[in-house]
């Protein structure tokens, strides 16, 4: 177990370092975000396991809190999307959904987690005696699956008041700059740098088809959002 913990901490630290390093890297910004998230999750998991060996907190933890957190997450995501769609102004430019590759990953992850959670719940409710705490972890799993699927199937767009990224609105005033990254022959990845300080939340990525990229960049410039250095693999708004 000690070896596993040490390896887990090393892997988590390396993932976080890979995502936060400032030097030139072949990794896309969205990939670096995922590395940071995975690294933090692994470190938290290793910390939880270590503490549990000293003090068995998990057996005493009120599992109902997990189910309540799942219900809150479900409501928060639903309300957030409804508010962003209804109170963000008129549609300016439709950007479609995430890339096909990312959509497949989202659908696979979300549906798998949802099916596993539902299967567990079906088994548990057949017990002679069961309580909400027995299905709380599964309720949280369904809520996470819902958030993942919602993120995957929602259409992105530019609205009057900001950028709608599927599950919320990023106001124009919170965007500091942007740059482009090559995604495929027919699309580029727009990376929006926000004014938030946390590394995991200070960028937002959007897959943009080539024919929509010039109009999108022009709209960003109209809102006084300038490119962050030289564009890489993105469209040239003033071709020679």
Residue 9 in any domain: the answer is yes
Considering its fold, how many domains does the chain have in total? 1
Residue 35 in any domain: the answer is yes
Domain that holds residue 46: 1-60
Instruction: Look at residue 121 in the predicted model and tell me its pLDDT.
Output: 96
- Could you tell me where the DSSP H helices lie in the chain? 2-20, 29-54, 64-86, 100-124, 132-153, 213-222
The dihedrals phi and psi of 175, each to the nearest 5 degrees, come to -95, 125
- CB contact at 8 A, 116 and 46: no
- CB contact at 8 A, 160 and 182: no
Beta bridge partners of 170: 163
Quick count: other Cβ atoms within 10 Å of Cβ 205? Answer: 19
Span 122-180, pLDDT tens digits: 999 999 999 999 999 999 999 999 999 998 888 889 999 999 988 888 999 999 999 88
Q: pTM for the complete prediction? A: 0.78
- CB contact at 8 A, 94 and 157: yes
Residue 191 in any domain: the answer is no
């Amino acid at each position: 177990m000690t070896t596993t913990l040490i390896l887990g901490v090393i892997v988590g630290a390396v993932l976080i370092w890979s995502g936060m390093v400032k030097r030139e890297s072949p990794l896309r910004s969205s990939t670096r975000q995922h590395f940071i998230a995975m690294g933090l999750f692994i470190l938290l998991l290793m910390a939880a396991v270590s503490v549990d060996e000293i003090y068995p907190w998990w057996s005493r933890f009120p599992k109902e809190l997990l189910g309540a957190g799942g219900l809150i997450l479900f409501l928060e995501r639903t309300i957030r999307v409804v508010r962003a769609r209804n109170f963000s102004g008129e549609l300016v430019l439709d950007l479609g959904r995430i890339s096909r590759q990312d959509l497949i990953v989202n659908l696979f992850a979300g549906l798998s987690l949802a099916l596993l959670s539902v299967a567990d719940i079906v088994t548990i409710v057949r017990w002679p005696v069961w309580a909400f705490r027995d299905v709380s972890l599964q309720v949280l799993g369904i809520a996470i699956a819902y958030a993942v699927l919602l993120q995957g199937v929602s259409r992105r767009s530019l609205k009057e008041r900001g950028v709608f990224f599927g599950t919320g609105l990023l106001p124009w005033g919170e965007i500091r700059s942007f740059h482009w990254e090559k995604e495929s022959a027919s699309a580029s990845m727009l990376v929006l740098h926000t004014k938030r300080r946390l590394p995991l939340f200070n960028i937002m990525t959007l897959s943009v088809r080539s024919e929509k990229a010039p109009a999108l960049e022009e709209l960003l410039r109209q809102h006084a959002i300038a490119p962050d250095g030289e564009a890489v693999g993105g469209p040239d708004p003033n071709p020679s």
